[in-house]
Amino acid sequence: MMKRRSEDANVLEESGEANGVVVERGSIKGDENNIAILLFLYLCQGIPLGLCSSIPMLLQNHRVSYKQQAEFSFVTWPFSLKLLWAPIVDSVFITRFGRRKTWLLPIQYLMGLFMLYLSNHVDRWLGNEDGSELNIGLLTALFFALNVLAATQDIVVDGWALTMFKRCNVGYASTCNSIGQTAGFFLGYVLFMALESPAFCNTYLRSVPSNTGIVTFPGFLYFWGYVFIIVTTLIGIFKRENTENIPKSENMNIKKAYELLWRTMKLPNIKQMILILLTAKIGFAASDTVTGLKMVEAGIPKEKFALMAVPMIPLQIILPVFISKYTVGSQPMNIYLKAIPYRLLFGLVAAFLVWITPYFIRNGEVPVYYFILLVILYFLHQICASCMFVASMAFFARISDPAVGGTYMTFLNTLCNLGGNWPATAALYFVDTLTFKQCKEYIVNNCGGGEENETCMNVNKVCHTQLDGYYIESFLCIIIGFLWLRWGKNIIRNLQNKPASTWKVVQQKN
């Protein structure tokens, strides 16, 4: 499911409000076009993210191994690594062409052309064409490259948002970010999965059944490829950059940007934060990453599983507002720590659901009461996840050094994202390793993969799963999670009690 992007820079902080500058509230009159442009540009980021959540579900149709799923999961990493090249994007540009348009237009065109290219070949690489074989390596490389472009576009748009609006309306940038990216993810994941499914279309949208969905993967890529190209052309022709009120934090060359980043990393507090952020999500890896694929494997139609995200969209908008009331002040991480045990226990609930799901599914039909149960449990899980997200963002905003601009905040958010990506990839990779199988009626063969699997199938035998590695992994993650909580809670409490001066970069000497 959708994992909300947590590396957004705090635009209010960068705009000067965090430095004590009072900004008057104004109306959106005069900024309507800017809001529309930003919404579309952020929507463009959500499309590739949504597609990268759809493809693992499509791969389940091919019974790929979880090691192959782990390989493909690397496509989500660019948004966690963008800080490595963000200073270049912020500092290198053609003045006559425009600071942001220098990067935005070529990137948007490349994304559109990339989608058009993928539309002509993706079915073959997915093994859907006669005589073709699944090519996970090539799919991973190409969609990784697409997400590198999307992450770079994100850097550009975040920066442009600070000068696109009137100063009194700069706060709307974060709203456009949230709404636009959520909408893009919805289109690329939920809507695509529903319209690509023959079963869903035959049940709800057609009077005459068909073996294909209303939308195909190549067709979806083809459509959005041209949308990217056409709208980018219109932006290039009709939208000009506003060079007024550029934040001082933007006047930075590449050397200074990387120097500030290095000085930030050397802070004693930050060294502890790096360790905390890179390990905090290990306990949730199996539950958050593998459960959805196991549900599909157990018989829940992938399009119906994707539809579970629909009722979560209002939650993702409303819940942060509610939680933020409890994260103001000097102790925002208290909510974070309180949510961890409940989120860890949902790992047990998820494993139990995967175990009982086959007993409820008949011919791909999910009973309404069971689907409602899944939605309720996922709703509760999202409350825990949102509590942790909002609390960590509030803490990051409190400790970030305003003198550094957005680099400090983006650095912390990047670590937070990376701390979720590497456990997710590892969780997928080790599912097969921890799974114990036996070739039915041919006990000398333990279906260890490769030749043993092929041998078992060649003698008309069945590889029977004796113990699914997902259950072993789920329990290991929960144990690790509670051990981490026992170790990390004191460090977190100590860090949030540190005086603000200990987080300042400008006080550090080279």
For the chain, give every residue range classified as CATH 1.20.1250.20: 31-246
Residues 301 and 364 sit within 8 Å (Cβ to Cβ): yes
CB atoms within 10 A of CB 61: 12
Residues 391 and 336 sit within 8 Å (Cβ to Cβ): yes
Question: What does the DSSP assignment read for 243-303?
Answer: -TT--GGG---HHHHHHHHHHHHTSHHHHHHHHHHHHTTGGGHIIIIIHHHHHHHHT--HH
Average pLDDT of the segment spanning 386-404: 81
Taking the C-alpha atoms of 319, 325, 331 and 337 in order, what is their torsion angle to the nearest 10 degrees? -30
Average pLDDT of the segment spanning 334-339: 93
Q: What tens digit of pLDDT does each residue of 99-109 get? A: 889 999 999 99
Query: Looking at the domain that runs over 253-433+468-510, which CATH code has it been given?
Result: 1.20.1250
Does the pLDDT of residue 509 top 60, yes or no? no
What Å distances lie between residue 184 and 87, 214, 226, CA to CA? 26, 19, 16
CB atoms within 10 A of CB 226: 13
Does the pLDDT of residue 97 top 60, yes or no? yes
Does the pLDDT of residue 33 top 50, yes or no? yes
pLDDT top residue among 428 and 94: 428
What amino acid occupies position 202? N
Residues 147 and 160 sit within 8 Å (Cβ to Cβ): no
Residues 464 and 438 sit within 8 Å (Cβ to Cβ): yes
Q: What tens digit of pLDDT does each residue of 283-332 get? A: 999 999 999 999 988 888 888 888 888 887 777 777 777 777 777 677 88
Average pLDDT of the segment spanning 220-245: 86
Does the pLDDT of residue 24 top 70, yes or no? no
Residues 66 and 429 sit within 8 Å (Cβ to Cβ): yes
Distance between CA atoms of residues 508 and 281, nearest Å: 30
CA angle 455, 459, 465 (to 5 degrees): 65
CB atoms within 10 A of CB 486: 9
pLDDT top residue among 2 and 339: 339
Mean pLDDT lowest among 8-12, 166-170, 430-434, 479-483:
8-12
Does the pLDDT of residue 212 top 60, yes or no? yes
Per-residue confidence band for 113, with pLDDT thresholds at 50, 70 and 90: very high
- Quote the tokens at residue 415: 């670590």
Print burial letters for 492-502: b (CB count within 10 Å at least 16), e (below 16).
beebbeeeeee
Query: Looking at the domain that runs over 31-246, which CATH code has it been given?
Result: 1.20.1250.20
Residues 176 and 35 sit within 8 Å (Cβ to Cβ): yes
Q: Identify the DSSP state of 290.
A: I
Distance between CA atoms of residues 331 and 464, nearest Å: 51
Taking the model in full, what pTM does it have? 0.82
Print burial letters for 176-213: b (CB count within 10 Å at least 16), e (below 16).
bbbbbbbbbbbbbbbbbbbbbbeebbbeeeeeeeeeeb
Distance between CA atoms of residues 220 and 215, nearest Å: 6
